[in-house]
Amino acid sequence: MLARLLLRRTTGLSWRLNPPARLVGQQHRTFSSINNHLAFRNSTVLKNQKKDDSEVNDDKKKAEKPTKPEESTEVDPDTQKKDKKKDMGDEEKDIREEIKKRLQKKNPNINLNNIKVYQFDQKSIARFFIGTSVLTILLTMYMLTKNKEKNELSFQDFKINYLEKGLVTRLTVINKFAVQAELIRGAVSDQTFQTAGGTPAVVFTIGSVEFFEEEMKLSQDKLGIPIEERLPISYEERGSWLNYIIPILPTVLLIGGLWYMTMRRAGQAGGGAGGAGGPGGIFKIGKSKAKLFNQETEVKIKFKDVAGCEESKEEIMEFVKFLQDPKKYEKLGAKIPRGAILSGPPGTGKTLLAKATAGEAGVPFLSVSGSEFVEMFVGVGASRVRDLFKTAREMAPAIIFVDEIDAIGKERGNGKMGGNDERENTLNQLLVEMDGFEGSDHVVVLAGTNRPDILDKALLRPGRFDRHISIDTPDVEGRKQIFKVHLSKLTLTADEEIKASQKDLDFSKYQELKAEAIENLAGRLSALTPGFAGADIANCCNEGALIAAREDATSVDIYHFEQAIERVVAGLEKKSRILSPEEKKTVAYHEAGHAICGWFLEFADPLVKVSIIPRGQGALGYAQYLPKDQYLVSQEQFRHRMIMTLGGRVSEELHFDTVTSGASDDFKKITQMAQQMVLKLGMSDKVGHIYYDSGDDGSGFKVHNNYSQTTAKLIDDEVKRLIDDAYDACHTLLTEKLELVDKVAEELFKKEVLTREDMIRLVGPRPFPERNDAFDKYIKGKDAFKGKPKD
């Protein structure tokens, strides 16, 4: 209360928002700008007054003198106080209006009905706290040294100087650590003092009451004092409340100061745009940590920056359009969907799509992660959910985005997931807020997850998350559009070549040629990156720019992007990992076997590159193919892939006396393919057209097989038969092409890297037409992954 009174009486200006206030984070900038505005206004008024006074002529002054008698220089104190209060009221009103304009400009949805203006001076506050601290220290030092000012003496001196001389009349043990000995009248020395009754006395400290009583008994026995004449001992508890308060006062003040600073910082952090909860709550622990984005927030990502998922963008934009113009839909009787789940593999652009929605929504957008609801305190998650929806309803129409909602939305009552009452309470509160008794009109909830299969069924039902938007990995055309977005931000060699070749080119023609160059480059790169998600493509473009910068290049070339693709797919080259000549030769024949099998099998994927340079993921060599984007795989395609995968081991058997462990990963792949064909795809005549579980429920937990031991043996026999058939076909093929295997292996041993053009030169054109349209359009006839161009 004392601090508040001092704040009101000192000079200066500040302002405080009476709830809710979500822009406290802008307080200091607004405060300083208002002070500058007031200072500029006052200085302008003074200048204008001086200018007007100098321009008034003497005749006018003389004419005004008869009509306006000269006023007395003495001013009535009451009138002066009234004028001062009036000026202060006008000034406070101007400041309030100025603050409203500035804050509404920052956030049009803020409530500024109550603005209070306080006066304070930071120097005065600092002097107050410094003075209080100094006074506390002085009081503490006084209390700690007060007992020393009293004339104390040791117990041994007391026995020699007073007890043995018979000067003591009474002993009083005070607070179990000090003894006051009353003396006979006239026994005055430098160590005595007068009690309240005028009796001289001395004081000394003792270790313990038991020790004091024992020593007194021995001393009086030694002096031969009879028991009935021995000194009486009484016990008292003395001291005022100050004796207990003052020693702990510094600690209390320190803790109070830390508490005040923590609460103040928490209030500032929670009331700004980063904390949607506003002031209140112990350390704001129960307040939502959602970040607020609106039309005033600088969000650089727009829908034009999101490519490869046009259908998903249309779905999201429908929510935005409904909130921006609800009457268009309501007049037809339509109701706004409550929410949508964005699901898909990692890196496909779920969060990026949400960021673009925040950048173009035009309505308040609250973003929060699912893990931010989970804390060590019980009940915090549910409290934050309530506060999040309360804030969104106050800002309605608004959008809430919960990233990684599976952190709190896992299925309840599932023993395999483990029990977690706190997480379930948070989920229950989310269910109630989304579709409970209290409506959430004009508040849309978007959520992103990689695992929609583990979410609670009550969360996915219509009325909560009405729509499920699936964002899959892009096809070749989607990858091309994503590459165009990222390539437009880089300095490309093709762009530099256009500028160098045609110096007098007008801007429109230059833009046309640049767009055509980016189109071709994006198409080529999209064909070289099958299965890449949006995040992989962004990483690939960034890696290409980093490789170009590492080589001190002035622009990014196709070579740099190909190096980046290889790094993403196979890892970094391990040039320091030196293979012995025997190992290098074994790896060369192994990879040559893969390459020859893929070259002469009709349904194998087109070969782009084969290398025996060790890579970071443990591969001593690898062959790179370009599978096309397809959603159905035939039985013959499975068979040819298995034959090509076995080519490495068969080549080792044909050219060496022993085999190595290099084919372990190949065996894993063909076993998985054969099991899929038998168990789930019905590609076995003996097992039949039946779907069998593979023993994995998809969540990492093994389950019992849903078939008998007899069926299990039949399945094992069929899997082995498929693999044996593929092995025999591979052995036959490589035996026929043995000379070509030797030729390719020897060339690979020398050069370490062979491209598609090298394969055509060594073994001739592939006898089958390519079945990959993107390959035919962007790669065929052009060498890929050929290495660094020569200067």
pLDDT in tens, 373-395: 877 667 777 888 888 888 888 88
What SS3 state is found at 367? Answer: strand
Q: What is the pLDDT, as a whole number, of residue 52?
A: 46
Within this chain, do residues 120 and 165 fall inside the same structural domain, yes or no?
no
Please provide the average confidence, as pLDDT, over all residues in the chain.
76
CB-CB neighbours of 265 under 10 Å: 12
Q: What is the pLDDT, as a whole number, of residue 440?
A: 54
- Give the structural domain span for 614: 581-778
Pick the range with the lowest mean pLDDT from 284-288, 337-341, 553-557. 284-288
How far apart, in Å, are the Cα atoms of 353 and each of 320, 472, 486, 648, 750?
A: 12, 13, 16, 43, 48
Mean pLDDT of 76-93: 57
199 or 135: which leads in pLDDT: 199
Long-range contacts of 326-335 (CB under 8 A, 24+ apart): 326/397, 326/442
The answer to whether position 576 is within a domain reads no
DSSP code, position 621: -
Q: Does 344 score more than 70 pLDDT?
A: yes
Q: What is the pLDDT, as a whole number, of residue 693?
A: 76
Q: Most distant CA pair in the chain: distance in Å?
A: 132
Q: Does 110 score more than 80 pLDDT?
A: no
Within this chain, do residues 747 and 624 fall inside the same structural domain, yes or no?
yes
Q: Does 130 score more than 60 pLDDT?
A: yes
Q: What is the pLDDT, as a whole number, of residue 4?
A: 37
591 included as an active-site residue? yes
The answer to whether position 79 is within a domain reads no
Contact 748, 610 (CB under 8 A): yes
- C-alpha span between 193 and 182 (Å, rounded): 10
Cα 675 to chain centroid distance, Å, stands at 41
Within this chain, do residues 223 and 208 fall inside the same structural domain, yes or no?
yes
33 or 304: which leads in pLDDT: 304
Within this chain, do residues 263 and 162 fall inside the same structural domain, yes or no?
no
- C-alpha span between 483 and 694 (Å, rounded): 38
463 or 415: which leads in pLDDT: 463
Q: What is the pLDDT, as a whole number, of residue 322?
A: 84
Mean pLDDT of 612-635: 80
- State the SS3 of 551-596: CCCCCECHHHHHHHHHHHHHCCECCCCCCCHHHHHHHHHHHHHHHH
Q: How confident is the model at residue 338 (pLDDT cuts 50, 70, 90)?
A: confident
Within this chain, do residues 682 and 747 fall inside the same structural domain, yes or no?
yes
User: Number of C-alpha atoms within 13 angstroms, CB side, residue 548?
Assistant: 20
Q: What is the pLDDT, as a whole number, of residue 11?
A: 37
Q: What is the pLDDT, as a whole number, of residue 574?
A: 76
Q: pLDDT per residue over 728-747, tens digit each?
A: 999 999 999 999 999 999 99
12 or 510: which leads in pLDDT: 510
How far apart, in Å, are the Cα atoms of 650 and each of 42, 582, 596, 640, 717?
A: 93, 18, 12, 15, 22
- C-alpha span between 422 and 408 (Å, rounded): 9
Q: What is the pLDDT, as a whole number, of residue 202?
A: 87
CATH of the domain at 187: 3.40.1690.20
The answer to whether position 74 is within a domain reads no
Pick the range with the lowest mean pLDDT from 366-380, 506-520, 534-548. 366-380
> Which of 229, 257, 284 delimits the end of a domain?
284
Q: What is the pLDDT, as a whole number, of residue 51?
A: 44
Q: Does 34 score more than 60 pLDDT?
A: no
Q: How confident is the model at residue 39 (pLDDT cuts 50, 70, 90)?
A: very low
Within this chain, do residues 450 and 380 fall inside the same structural domain, yes or no?
yes
The answer to whether position 10 is within a domain reads yes
User: How many domains would you assign to the chain?
Assistant: 5
AA letter at 458: A
Q: Does 264 score more than 50 pLDDT?
A: yes
Within this chain, do residues 254 and 292 fall inside the same structural domain, yes or no?
no
Mean pLDDT of 430-439: 72
What SS3 state is found at 632? Answer: coil
Q: pLDDT per residue over 545-600, tens digit each?
A: 999 999 888 889 888 898 888 888 877 777 777 778 888 899 999 999 999 998 99
Within this chain, do residues 8 and 105 fall inside the same structural domain, yes or no?
yes
- C-alpha span between 412 and 414 (Å, rounded): 6
**CA dihedral of 728, 734, 736, 740, whole degrees rounded to 10:** 180
Contact 596, 744 (CB under 8 A): yes
C-alpha closest to that of 117 among 88, 87, 83, 82: 88
637 or 138: which leads in pLDDT: 637
The contacts of residue 517 (CB under 8 Å, 6+ apart) are 492, 494, 495, 498
The answer to whether position 73 is within a domain reads no
Mean pLDDT of 119-143: 67
Q: pLDDT per residue over 481-513, tens digit each?
A: 999 989 988 888 887 887 777 767 777 787 888
Name 115's bridge partners. Answer: 17
Q: What is the pLDDT, as a whole number, of residue 702?
A: 56
Q: Does 439 score more than 50 pLDDT?
A: yes
CATH of the domain at 347: 3.40.50.300
The answer to whether position 354 is within a domain reads yes
* Secondary structure element (H or E) that encloses residue 32, with its range: helix 27-55
Q: What is the pLDDT, as a whole number, of residue 776?
A: 62
Q: Which of 591, 602, 718, 757 is catalytic?
A: 591
Within this chain, do residues 116 and 222 fall inside the same structural domain, yes or no?
no
Q: Does 781 score more than 60 pLDDT?
A: no
461 or 51: which leads in pLDDT: 461
Preceding peptide of 530 cis, ω within 30°: no
Q: pLDDT per residue over 626-643, tens digit each?
A: 787 778 889 999 999 999
Mean pLDDT of 74-80: 53
CB-CB neighbours of 178 under 10 Å: 16
> Which of 454, 470, 486 delimits the end of a domain?
470
Within this chain, do residues 128 and 272 fall inside the same structural domain, yes or no?
yes
Q: Does 164 score more than 70 pLDDT?
A: yes
User: Among residues of the chain, what percentage have pLDDT more than 90?
Assistant: 13
Mean pLDDT of 148-153: 56
Q: How confident is the model at residue 258 (pLDDT cuts 50, 70, 90)?
A: confident
How would you label 181-205 residue by residue, b for 16+ Cβ within 10 Å and e otherwise?
bbbeeebeeebbeeeeeebbbbbbe
Q: Does 74 score more than 50 pLDDT?
A: no
Within this chain, do residues 392 and 514 fall inside the same structural domain, yes or no?
no
CATH of the domain at 676: 1.20.58.760
* Secondary structure element (H or E) that encloses residue 116, with its range: strand 115-118
Q: Does 611 score more than 70 pLDDT?
A: yes
Predicted structure pTM score: 0.62
Q: What is the pLDDT, as a whole number, of residue 771?
A: 67
Within this chain, do residues 693 and 773 fall inside the same structural domain, yes or no?
yes
Q: Does 76 score more than 70 pLDDT?
A: no
> Which of 421, 438, 470 delimits the end of a domain?
470
Q: What is the pLDDT, as a whole number, of residue 380?
A: 76
The answer to whether position 122 is within a domain reads yes
How far apart, in Å, are the Cα atoms of 698 and each of 427, 673, 693, 703?
A: 23, 17, 10, 10
Q: What is the pLDDT, as a whole number, of residue 434?
A: 82
- C-alpha span between 46 and 39 (Å, rounded): 11
Instruction: Return phi, psi of residue 282, to 5°.
Output: -65, 115
Pick the range with the lowest mean pLDDT from 265-274, 304-313, 561-570, 646-655. 265-274
Q: What is the pLDDT, as a whole number, of residue 153?
A: 78
- What is the edge-to-edge ordering of all strands in the sheet holding 622-625? 622-625, 607-611, 753-755
The answer to whether position 484 is within a domain reads yes
Q: What is the pLDDT, as a whole number, of residue 384?
A: 84
AA letter at 470: S
